[in-house]
A and B are shown apart, each in its own frame.
Chain A
Amino acid sequence: MMETKKISKVDLIFEDIDPREILTRVKGMSATEIIEEVLESGLKGRGGAGFPTGMKWKFCSEEKEKDKYIVCNADEGEPGTFKDREILDRVAQKVYAGMTIAGKAVGAQTGIVYLRGEYKFLLPQLRAELEKFHKMIHELGFDFRIDFRIGSGAYICGEESALFESIEGRRGEPRNKPPYPTSSGLFGKPTSINNVETLVNSVIILKYGSEFYKKMGTQFSTGAKVFSVSGDTPKPGIYELELGMSLLEFVNEFGDGDTKAVQVGGAAGFCVPRKLFASTVIGFEGVPTGGSMKLFNSSRSMYNVLHNYLDFFNEESCGQCTPCRVGCQQLLKGVESVKRGESKSTYIDELVKLAATMKVASKCGLGQSVGNAFNSIVENFREEIIY
Chain B
Amino acid sequence: MYQTDNLIKDLVKEYGSRRDSLMPILQGIVEKHNYLTDDAMVEVAKELDISAAEVYGTASFYSFLDTEPRGKFVIRVCKTITCSMKGKHEVLETLEDMLKIKVGETTSNGIFTLLETNCMGWCHKAPAMLINDTPYTELTREKINEIIKEYMHK
Q: Mark B50-73, 1 if CB is under 8 A from A, else 0.
A: 000000011001111100000000
Q: Which of B21, B26, B65, B118 has the most CB of A within 10 A?
A: B118
Chain B residues, Cβ within 8 Å of A315:
118
A80 within 8 A of B: yes
Chain A residues, Cβ within 8 Å of B24:
149-150
Contact B64 A168 (CB under 8 A): no
Number of interface residues of B (CB under 8 A): 36
- Interface hits, A262-287 → B, CB 8 Å: 263, 267
B22 within 8 A of A: yes
Q: Mark B76-112, 1 if CB is under 8 A from A, else 0.
A: 0001111011000000000000000000000000000
Total A-B pairs in contact (CB under 8 Å)?
119
Chain B residues, Cβ within 8 Å of A168:
19-20
Chain B residues, Cβ within 8 Å of A169:
18-23, 58
Partner of B23 from the list A118, A149, A237 (CB cut-off 8 Å) is: A149
From A224-232, A338-346, A353-361, give the one contacting chain B. A224-232
B117 within 8 A of A: yes
Which residue in chain A gives the minimum CB-CB distance to B135?
A121
Known: A169-B23, A171-B57, A312-B118. A121 touches B123 (CB 8 A): no
Contact A80 B119 (CB under 8 A): yes
Contact B118 A155 (CB under 8 A): yes
Q: Mark B13-46, 1 if CB is under 8 A from A, else 0.
A: 0000011111110110000000000000000000
Contact B119 A238 (CB under 8 A): no
Q: Which of B26, B63, B134 has the most CB of A within 10 A?
A: B63
What are 8 A-B residue pairs whose CB atoms fall within 8 Å in the complex? A79-B80, A80-B81, A80-B123, A167-B20, A169-B58, A236-B124, A308-B79, A308-B84
Name 15 extra pairs, CB < 8 A, besides A78-B119, A82-B121, A152-B26: A82-B123, A117-B27, A121-B134, A121-B135, A149-B23, A149-B24, A150-B23, A153-B65, A155-B119, A172-B61, A173-B61, A230-B124, A236-B123, A304-B81, A318-B61
Q: Residues of A with Cβ closer than 8 Å to B?
A: 76-82, 85, 116-121, 149-155, 166-173, 187, 228-232, 236-238, 263, 267, 294, 300, 304-305, 308-309, 312, 315-316, 318
